Chains A and B, each alone.
Chain A
Amino acid sequence: MDIAAQAANILELRDVSMDYGQVKALQDVSLAVRKGEWLAVMGPSGSGKTTMMNVIGCMDRPTSGEVLLEGQDVARLLPGALTEIRRDRIGLIFQQFHLISYLTALENVMVAQYYHSMIDEAEAMGALERVGLRDRAAHLPRQLSGGEQQRVCIARALINYPRLILADEPTGNLDEANEAIVLSLLRRLHEEGSTIVVVTHSPGVAAQAERTVVLEHGRIAQSFLNR
């Protein structure tokens, strides 16, 4: 791969393998994600999707191979350095939302600011406005619907201007109406230039991405463009 192509890639996996004892969760996976690309990762349960998310999200280190994030190999970094990268460069969206139950929607967004740098309430409110939840800012998670909780989760992922947004089954717990809202949000983020990697079981969600890779038994079985 030439230097220009490398510079265009925000993320690159080179022969990444991940073993959990005898289980080979990922086997020599190589993958490049361009800046501003929307990539969908599909595959059956146990195919290695979550492991790949952990590796890309700097929450786990591969057994072997290189993980280049903006050209920096993060595969061998110490946990402290990985924490810094997660905080500064990655926004996470979870299937189960993982909002802190005793904090309001606004405070849940501000938690990400709290661990990142300084708290800016106006900016957090702006993020909620982007996901259409300004009027729900003072509500606790239990007072929000699933779709609203996911939108708070998206606002939290966006608040520190991450280079890469990782979404793990972002519509997995939502009904159709809320799925449509979340997908339109992701689409808008993509249009604004965000790089998005979505792990999903849903062909409908994957179809929204520019490209889909399909994992089977820890290997990339297919990779195709959606449009």
Chain B
Amino acid sequence: MTKHRMYLKMLFNSLTRRRSRMIAALLAVAVGAAVFQGMMTICCDVPRQMEREFRSYGANMVLTAADDAALSLEDAARAVALLPEDKLVGATPYRYKPVRAHMQPLTAVGTRFEQVKKTSPWWRVEGEWPSDGNTLLAGANVAEFMGLEPGKGLTISGRNAKGARFSQEMTVAGVLRTGGPEEDFVFMNLPTLEELDGNPGTADLVEVSVACGSEELAKLSDSIRREISTVAPRSVKRVTSSEASVLTRLRTLVYMVTAVVLVLTMICVATTMMTVVLERRKEIGLKKALGAENFAIAGEFLGEGICLGAAGSLPGIALGWLLARAIGLNVFGRVIAFNPFLTLAALLVSTALTAAACVLPIRAAVAVEPSLVLRGE
């Protein structure tokens, strides 16, 4: 038999001989590991999922021209190309034009409806979305004021960029309800407005929706500013800060719950190990009487702690992942992916915390006097 094998034998026997105590400690470690794995998985995965969810609340970046000129759609496209493809939800150009309809002044807005559906998914349309150059979307206020409804005709007239008059017969495809200022406008396809107004290839602004946090968004804005000097990107602070606030609160809550559970786990393990030390005082005293150094005694209890931590963590981690998956599906409606790095982190953290919980019991063990074996206590 080698010293290594002797150490393992003493370790194994010590753990298995006090089964009920060790099962209690194992359960505590498993619960701690499960909560750590579960909460951290949710903490890492759900915010990432929610960033995409938050995009349903509107664009979080607006591109405008850096100077007073109109924004070139070509430059805007280059700017959008700088954004990570997997995080880009949509980019919608808007071009505003004062026009008249039935002798009333109106603002016509040229846009791309397929992009609008991505960046402003809360727009509700009664009727149909415009499908060609002759149909438009009337804002609810405009429709009410002018008595418009889907299928009715509307003549849009005005002066183009060169001052020449234009007039276009159009049909209302749908009525737009947003609860916002969009209800005061009429929306048409951008090429239609470009044709009426002239000066194609420009917009007043492009609304961009990117699935990322406020810090990353700021970095992306800086990158666009650096690369394309004619485009001025800015974050929509109201959106990004409220997103950050929600996510920060969610994370803080998760961290706090996890920390509390881990502290309770440590207390449970420390209490169990302290009881084990008290029960084994005579054996510790004997070993010290036989010449065991303090570090040898500490090594034995630390080994027990590490075994306990590793053995409790594995089922705990599996349970935690199932817990996270269940929470993801039932609460957030998301399938949470298995994260091997997080699993490894959970194993290491649980084992390290269990070992750390053994510090006080180890101090008590090394403080045992060898002389007690002679006192017959």
Q: Please give the residue numbers on chain A whose beta carbons come within 8 Å of chain B beta carbons, in ascending order.
A: 50, 53-54, 57, 59-60, 80, 83-84, 86-88, 92, 94-96, 98, 100, 102-103, 107, 110-112, 114-116, 118-119, 121, 156, 168
Contact A88–B291 (Cβ < 8 Å): yes
B9 within 8 A of A: yes
Q: Which residues of chain A are near B292, meaning CB under 8 Å?
A: 83, 87, 115
Note all chain A residues with C-beta closer than 8 A to B2: 119
Which of B91-99, B326-334, B349-357, B369-377 faces chain A? B369-377
- A116 and B291 form a contact (CB under 8 A): yes
Docked Cα-Cα span, A80 to B376, in Å, equals 24
In contact, B376 and A96 (Cβ under 8 angstroms): yes
Given A57-B374, A95-B376, A100-B283, A86 and B6 contact (CB-CB distance below 8 Å): no
Q: List 6 A-B contacts (CB under 8 A).
A: A57-B289, A86-B289, A94-B373, A96-B376, A115-B287, A168-B374
* CB within 8 Å for A92 and B289 given contacts A59-B369, A103-B9, A168-B374: yes
B3 contacts A119, C-beta separation under 8 Å:
yes
Q: Is the CB of B294 within 8 A of A80?
A: yes
Q: How far is the CA of A53 from the CA of B14 in the complex (A)?
A: 30
Asked if A50 and B375 make an inter-chain contact with CB atoms under 8 angstroms apart, the answer reads yes
A149, chain B: closest CB distance, angstroms: 13
| Residues of chain A contacted by B3 (CB below 8 angstroms) | 114, 118-119
Assess the B287–A59 pair: CB atoms within 8 A. Answer: no
Known: A59-B369, A107-B1, A119-B2; 12 extra A-B contacts, CB below 8 A, are A57-B374, A80-B294, A83-B288, A84-B291, A86-B289, A92-B290, A95-B376, A103-B10, A110-B1, A115-B292, A115-B293, A156-B290
Which chain A residue has the least Cβ–Cβ distance from B369? A59
A119 touches B289 (CB 8 A): no
Give the most central of B2, B6, B282, B289: most A CB within 10 Å: B289
Chain A residues whose C-beta falls within 8 Å of the C-beta of B10 in the assembled complex:
100, 103
B296 in complex: contacting residue of A100, A115, A118, CB < 8 Å: A115
Q: B1: which of A60, A80, A121 is its contact (CB, 8 Å)?
A: A121
Instruction: Determine the chain B residues whose CB is within 8 A of the CB of A60 once the complex forms.
Output: 369, 371
A53 to B287, CA, bound (A): 17
If the complex has contacts A103-B9, A110-B6, A118-B3, are A87 and B374 also in contact, measured as CB distance less than 8 A? no
Cα distance, A111 to B288, chains bound together (Å): 11
Whether B6 pairs with A107 at a CB distance below 8 angstroms is: yes
Q: From residue A84, how far is it (CB to closest CB) to chain B in Å?
A: 7
Question: B286 within 8 Å of A by Cβ?
Answer: yes
Question: Which of B1, B283, B293, B370 interacts with A59 by CB under 8 Å?
Answer: B370
Interface residues of B (CB under 8 A from A): 1-3, 6-7, 9-10, 13-14, 17, 282-283, 286-294, 296, 369-371, 373-376
CB neighbours of A57 from chain B (8 A): 289, 371, 374
Q: Is the CB of A54 within 8 A of B291?
A: no
Give complex CA distance A87, B286 in Å.
Answer: 12
Indicate which residue in B282, B290, B375 contacts A112 across the interface (CB closer than 8 Å). Answer: B290
Q: Judging by beta carbons under 8 Å apart, are A98 and B286 in contact? A: yes
B293 contacts which of A50, A80, A100 (Cβ < 8 Å)?
Answer: A80
Q: A87-B291, A102-B17 are contacts. A114–B6 as well, Cβ < 8 Å?
A: yes
For B7, the chain A residues whose CB sits under 8 A away are 114
Q: Is the CB of B9 within 8 A of A107?
A: yes
CB within 8 A of B291: which of A53, A83, A96, A100?
A83
Distance of A115 Cα from B288 Cα, bound (Å):
9
The 8 closest A-B pairs by CB, nearest first: A87-B291, A102-B13, A59-B371, A115-B292, A54-B371, A59-B370, A98-B286, A115-B291
Write out the residue numbers on chain A whose beta carbons fall within 8 Å of the beta carbon of B288: 83
CA distance A84 to B288 in the complex (A): 10
Q: Are B282 and A98 in contact (CB under 8 A)?
A: yes
B291 near A86 with CB under 8 A, answer yes
Q: Which B residues are CB-close (under 8 A) to A59?
A: 289, 369-371, 374
Query: Chain B contacts of A80 at CB under 8 A?
Result: 293-294
Q: Which residues of B contact A107 (CB under 8 A)?
A: 1, 6, 9
Closest to B17 in A: A102
B293 and A111 contact, CB distance less than 8 A:
no
Q: Which residues of B contact A102 (CB under 8 A)?
A: 13-14, 17
Q: Which residues of chain B are within 8 angstroms of A121 by Cβ–Cβ distance?
A: 1
Shortest distance from the beta carbon of A157 to any chain B beta carbon, whole Å: 9
Contacts A59-B370, A95-B376, A168-B374 given; indicate if A115 touches B290 (C-beta within 8 A).
Answer: yes
A residues near B290, Cβ cutoff 8 Å = 86-87, 92, 111-112, 115-116, 156
CB pair A50 B374 closer than 8 Å? yes
Bound together, the chains give a CA A53 to CA B296 distance in angstroms of: 24
Bound Cα distance from A84 to B26, whole angstroms? 36
Closest to A104 in B: B9
Which chain A residues lie closer than 8 Å to B14 at the CB level? 102
State in angstroms the CA–CA spacing of A98 and B13 once bound together. Answer: 17
Question: How distant is the Cα of A60 from the Cα of B288 in the complex, in angstroms?
Answer: 12
Cα A84 to Cα B370 in complex, Å, equals: 13
- B residues in contact with A98, CB < 8 Å: 282, 286, 373
Min distance, Cβ B322 to any Cβ of chain A, angstroms = 36
Considering the chains assembled together, what is the distance between the CA atoms of A84 and B293 in angstroms?
Answer: 8
Most chain B CB within 10 A, of A84, A102, A103, is at A102
